[in-house]
Structure formats: C-alpha cells, structure tokens
Structure 1
Amino acid sequence: MYAVIRHYSFKSEDSDKINQMIQEGFVPLIKKANGFISYNWLDTGTGDGASLSVFQDKAGADESILLAADFVRKNMSELLSQKPEVIEGPIKAYG
C-alpha cells in the first residue's frame, strides 16, 4: 500500500466552505483514482487541515497527487494561505 498526506493552511473562517468542497467535489473525484483504498480529511478548526489517501500502489498515489493539484488550482487556491505540503511513501506498518 502507498499513502499520500497533504497539509493545507487556510483562514479558520473558511473551514466550512473547504470541508464542503472536499466532501462534495474532491472525494468523488479521488475515489475514481486507480487502486483507491481510502481518503480521510482532518480539519483542526484553527486554519490547518490534512488529508490521508491510501492506494494499492505508487501509481494510484501519483495519480491522486495530480488530481489534488488540479482540484486545488481550480477550486481552492484563493482560500489557501500557502502551497499545500505533500508527503508520500509506502506504508510500512498498520493495524
């Protein structure tokens, strides 16, 4: 399995709007990526959010990175205070 973690920074007052955009717009999109296993979004309520996406292999994770970048550019770029931070790699332990 392969995972991608994305960290986002934004104004806390935009949380509800961002949460809705992710749930209604991005989640259906990422579910179509090859090898999709799961997607989770965490909103701290203080202007930070992070997502964890899991795929069967690196190819699916790479596809998700492109999908997320395109979605952010088209829908969320004006709401973010900085470029998202992306971490990816193989899952070594889980339970």
Structure 2
Amino acid sequence: MHVTVRKYADKAPLIDGLVPSVRDGFVPLLRRTPGFKGYVAFGSEDGHVVSVTIFHDAKSAMRADDRVREGVVSSLRDLLPNPPEVMTGEALLHEVSKVQRDSGPGMFATVRLFEGIGPREEVLPLAREHVFLTIKGAPGFRGYYAFLDEADSSRGVSASLFDTREHAMEANAWVVSVMRERNIAPNPPRVMAGQVAIVAAAED
C-alpha cells in the first residue's frame, strides 16, 4: 500500500463547503483511478484540511497525482488556491478492521508526524512489536497506516481511524508514550486530528 497525506493549511473552517464538491466530483474521479484503495478527509482541530489517500502501490499513486491536481484545480480551486504540504510513502504497517464506504458520523481521524525517526531497519521491528500489534486491539479501532516520508526518511507519519474522538485520543496518548519510552521517536509528534468529513473506499 502507498499512502499520501496532504495538509491544506488553515482551511479547516471551509470543510463543510468542500464536502459536496469532494464527495460528488473528486471522489468518483479517484475511484476510477486504477489502484485506488481509500480516501479520508477531515478538518483538523488545529485548523487545517487534511486528506489521506491510499493506493495499491507507488506506481498507482504517481499516476493518480495528475488526477488529484486536476480535480483540485477544476472543482476546488476557489476554496483551495494554494498547494498542500505533501507527505507520501510505502505503508510499512497497515490494518483495517472495518471499511466504511460513505461519509458519515462515527469516524475520527488522527495523523501524527514524528521527526527524528531512526533507520527503518531499527525502527520497524520496534514499532511492529510495541505499537502496531496493540493499537489494532484498541477500543474503537477502524484503521491504521504508517510510513516514512519519501522526502525525508527521518520523518515518520501515521494515520489512524477510530469510532470516536475519545478512543482516538486514548490511543494517541498511548502510542506517543510507547514510542518515546522505546526510543522509536524521541520527539513529540505534530498531531492533526478531527472528525471525518468524507470517507471512501474502492468499489468491489
């Protein structure tokens, strides 16, 4: 799996206005793109619009980039005139327990950005043993993806989905604590979290 996180800075107040265009125009475009697996968008509590897009592999994700840009320009240009901050990479750890195909309540997303991550061969076994296996069993778990940013391999990024904010925040606090204790990521992460506004999965 290949994951891309996009952050449109300071645009969270526009999320309700973005939903119809994204849901009715942009999401169908993504679903027609080969390799598409999933998409989530939310307004983060710290003020940004954040999206997480999942494709089968890097090649599929790269082919989709043009469609993403075209979709934003054609239907969202007035609301999102500036390019986003982009983080992308191969999903080193991923799990989905319950796929929801349409927008709706009951999904809360958290994206964590960890700076100063060590070498992959050292970090991945620790993360798998001490974080991944436990977070899958956390109350309200819906999905989890973690990757190293291709632009900076010392930046680790994780995206998780839970049924409620309470469960998401409990899991977030636990993950940060464990990663610090195990020296997986000694620095506190930057966190973007919010109620999911749009969620879409590939059609069977």
Deviation at 1:11, TM superposition (A): 6.4
Distance in 1, matches of 2:65 and 2:28, equals: 15
Which amino acid in structure 2 is aligned with residue 15 of structure 1? I
Distance in 1, matches of 2:12 and 2:92, equals: 34
Runs of 4+ in 1 over 3 A off after TM superposition: none
Normalising by the residue count of structure 2, what TM-score does the alignment of the two structures yield? 0.42
Distance in 1, matches of 2:28 and 2:58, equals: 20
Alignment-derived partner of residue 48 in structure 1: 48
Alignment-derived partner of residue 61 in structure 2: 61
Q: Runs of 5+ in structure 2 lacking a partner?
A: 96-204
1:70 and 2:76 are equivalent in the alignment? no
Q: Runs of 5+ in structure 1 lacking a partner?
A: none
Deviation at 1:80, TM superposition (A): 2.1
Normalising by the residue count of structure 1, what TM-score does the alignment of the two structures yield? 0.84
**SS of equivalent residue, structure 1 residue 82:** coil
Matches within 5 A, 1:1-95: 1-9=1-9, 10=11, 12=13, 14-44=14-44, 47-80=47-80, 82-95=82-95
1:11·1:79 contact (CA, 8 Å) conserved in 2? no
Distance in 2, matches of 1:85 and 1:17, equals: 21
2:38·2:53 contact (CA, 8 Å) conserved in 1? yes
Q: Figure out how many residues of one structure are paired with residues of the other and give that number.
A: 94
* Identity within the alignment, %: 26
Distance in 1, matches of 2:71 and 2:60, equals: 16
Q: Which structure has the larger Rg over C-alpha atoms? A: 2
1:11·1:81 contact (CA, 8 Å) conserved in 2? no
